[in-house]
């Protein structure tokens, strides 16, 4: 015997959504917030292409990314059934688990402002019954049992396999359903393509603009702090402005929380969640900076810088869950690189300035080349970088204010493009690549 798992026969599913209805009735969910969703291949309904469906809810993965990445420890595993349980009273509504799950299992409820998901019908399992969705399936495509999972069957067209050991046994497609279809002539092969620009995205600039500003303010403050103890001490007004901007950044970052009064829970998962580490380290940065400004003790400044470096690393690592369309390892808008540029400007290091500007120009150009996207905004972005490196080479201590403003605008454009170009892995995106 294996572990409690869903058993899904891809060949039998007719996409009738009876499993979705069964789940909704059992758990009292409201359309369109369904815990179980049927995702279909061949959305264009071409008669010469295979038609198949995936009925997916939470797969209660052995290495559940929702549980590992949740900053508030709002998930736990039921040891008896293996179910990954979401605790509504602990959820802060940050939606980070919805980024982490490749099966789109956690759903953000805009009415309750928290996440909810399939609970494996754990009460039914404990009573010796099967989950409601499996009972509702009229064709026997969806079932429940304790099979010994065959992970080789996860390699199916359209099924997202990221190595997190989902508790689902797939009955694979028949061989003739996997064959490439040729239409018109032997030289013309038709493959289904989905326009990813038209798919609903979980990360959008218009929704994440507060996070965009938070990341840029964090890079600015962390990069410029060394100026205070390397060039000259900030005035009291500048110190108040500095700390005020830090508090503003933290306030902006809280905008995407569904339950803001529970924000304190966001630092509970320092062991596994990069989001927890980001929030903790940036808060620590502002705390040590404020103490340094007030007491003037040097070790407080160095403590602040250490927390700042950790904060920049954490901010970039938060987005490691996403899929980049350019597929480059590094990105010109990564905050650690922006922070390093500002740091170089703050301490007036020719080496750091030349290195970071060259890296940003190279990475930005490479991305635009790969994506085949170059616009007026791209010209503005590159103008600030190239203009600064030229001015610095000619007259490093006489940089005009307008050039710094152009550089700042370029960083804003680059970061906005970063949010526009990243995607979250979902069953729909998996079907699009099949």
Confidence at 429, pLDDT banded by 50, 70, 90: confident
Torsion on CA atoms 361, 363, 364, 366, rounded to nearest 10: 110
Q: State the span(s) of the chain assigned CATH 1.20.1630.10.
A: 205-423
- Taken in order 272, 305, 292, 283, the sign of the CA dihedral is negative
- Taken in order 326, 329, 332, 335, the sign of the CA dihedral is positive
* Of 215, 216, 100, 203, nearest in space to 420 by CA: 203
Contact 267, 71 (CB under 8 A): yes
- Taken in order 332, 338, 342, 348, the sign of the CA dihedral is negative
Q: Which positions ≥6 away from 119 have C-beta within 8 Å?
A: 27, 58, 83, 85, 86
Q: State the span(s) of the chain assigned CATH 3.30.70.20.
A: 5-184
Domain 5-184 = CATH 3.30.70.20: yes
Position 256 scores a pLDDT of 87
pLDDT at 154 over 90: no
Confidence at 181, pLDDT banded by 50, 70, 90: very low
- Find the range with the poorest average confidence among 99-103, 188-192, 374-378, 409-413: 188-192
Gap between the Cα atoms of 15 and 3, Å rounded: 26
Position 45 scores a pLDDT of 61
Most confident of 227-231, 325-329, 386-390, 395-399: 386-390
Q: Which fold has domain 205-423?
A: Formate dehydrogenase/DMSO reductase fold (1.20.1630)
List the structure tokens of 177: 């359903």
Position 186 scores a pLDDT of 40
For residues 128-146, give the mean pLDDT: 95
Position 50 scores a pLDDT of 64
Position 328 scores a pLDDT of 86
Confidence at 98, pLDDT banded by 50, 70, 90: very high
Confidence at 232, pLDDT banded by 50, 70, 90: confident
List the structure tokens of 115: 């996440």
92 DSSP assignment: -
For residues 60-79, give the mean pLDDT: 96
Most confident of 13-22, 29-38, 417-426: 13-22
For residues 153-167, give the mean pLDDT: 87
Percent pLDDT > 70 in the chain is: 90
Confidence at 433, pLDDT banded by 50, 70, 90: low
Confidence at 46, pLDDT banded by 50, 70, 90: low
User: For 187-229, how does the pLDDT look when each residue is reduced to its tens digit (9 = 90+)?
Assistant: 334 344 444 444 445 677 778 899 999 999 999 999 999 888 7
Residue 76 gets the label, from left (phi > 0), alpha (psi -120 to 50) or beta, of beta
User: For 299-354, how does the pLDDT look when each residue is reduced to its tens digit (9 = 90+)?
Assistant: 999 999 999 999 999 999 999 988 888 888 899 999 999 999 999 999 888 999 99
Gap between the Cα atoms of 364 and 375, Å rounded: 13
Cα→Cα distances 306→145, 152, 289, 379, 413, Å: 50, 45, 11, 35, 28
Supply the mean pLDDT for the chain.
Answer: 88
Confidence at 426, pLDDT banded by 50, 70, 90: confident
User: For 104-122, how does the pLDDT look when each residue is reduced to its tens digit (9 = 90+)?
Assistant: 999 999 999 999 999 999 9
User: For 250-275, how does the pLDDT look when each residue is reduced to its tens digit (9 = 90+)?
Assistant: 999 999 899 999 999 999 999 999 99
Position 196 scores a pLDDT of 40
Cα→Cα distances 228→234, 253, 305, Å: 5, 25, 12
Position 386 scores a pLDDT of 93
List the structure tokens of 294: 């007030």
Contact 149, 169 (CB under 8 A): yes
Confidence at 413, pLDDT banded by 50, 70, 90: very high
Residue, of 67 and 185, whose pLDDT is higher = 67
């Amino acid at each position: 015997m294996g572990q409690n798992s869903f058993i899904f026969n891809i060949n039998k599913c007719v996409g009738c959504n009876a499993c979705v209805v069964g789940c909704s009735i059992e758990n009292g969910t409201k359309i369109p917030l369904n815990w179980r969703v049927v995702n279909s291949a061949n959305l264009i309904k071409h008669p010469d292409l295979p038609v198949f469906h995936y009925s997916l809810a939470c797969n209660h993965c052995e290495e559940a990314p929702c549980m590992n990445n949740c900053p508030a420890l709002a998930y736990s595993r039921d040891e008896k059934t293996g179910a990954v349980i979401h605790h509504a009273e602990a959820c802060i509504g940050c939606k980070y688990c919805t980024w982490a799950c490749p099966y789109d299992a956690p759903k953000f409820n805009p009415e309750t402002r928290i996440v909810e998901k399939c609970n494996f019908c754990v009460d039914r399992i404990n009573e010796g019954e099967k989950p409601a969705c499996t009972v509702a399936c009229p064709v026997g495509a969806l079932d429940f049992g304790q099979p010994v999972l065959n992970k080789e069957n996860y390699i199916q067209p359209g099924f997202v396999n990221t190595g997190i050991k989902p508790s689902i046994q797939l009955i694979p497609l028949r061989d003739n359903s996997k064959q490439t279809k040729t239409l018109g002539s032997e030289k013309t092969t038709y493959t289904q393509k989905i326009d990813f620009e038209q798919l609903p995205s979980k990360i959008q600039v218009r929704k994440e603009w507060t996070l965009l500003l938070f990341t840029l303010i964090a890079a600015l403050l962390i990069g410029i702090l060394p100026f205070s103890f390397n060039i000259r001490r900030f005035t009291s007004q500048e110190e108040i402005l500095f700390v005020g901007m830090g508090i503003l950044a933290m306030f902006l970052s809280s905008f995407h929380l569904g339950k803001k009064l529970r924000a304190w829970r966001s630092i509970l998962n320092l062991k596994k969640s990069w989001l927890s580490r980001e929030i903790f380290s940036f808060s620590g940065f502002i705390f040590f900076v404020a103490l340094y400004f007030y007491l003037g003790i040097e070790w407080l400044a160095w403590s602040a810088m250490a927390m700042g470096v950790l904060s920049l690393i954490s901010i970039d690592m938060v987005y490691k869950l996403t899929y980049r369309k350019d597929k480059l390892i590094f990105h010109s808008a990564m905050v650690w690189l922006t922070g390093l540029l500002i740091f170089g400007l703050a301490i007036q290091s020719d080496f750091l300035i030349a290195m970071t500007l060259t890296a940003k120009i190279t990475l930005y150009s490479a991305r635009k080349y790969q994506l085949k996207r170059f616009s007026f905004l791209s010209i503005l972005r590159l103008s600030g970088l190239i203009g600064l490196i030229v001015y610095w080479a000619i007259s490093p201590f006489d940089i005009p204010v307008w050039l710094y403003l152009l550089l700042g605008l370029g960083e804003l454009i680059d970061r906005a493009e970063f949010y526009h170009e990243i995607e979250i892995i979902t069953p729909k995106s998996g079907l699009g690549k099949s």
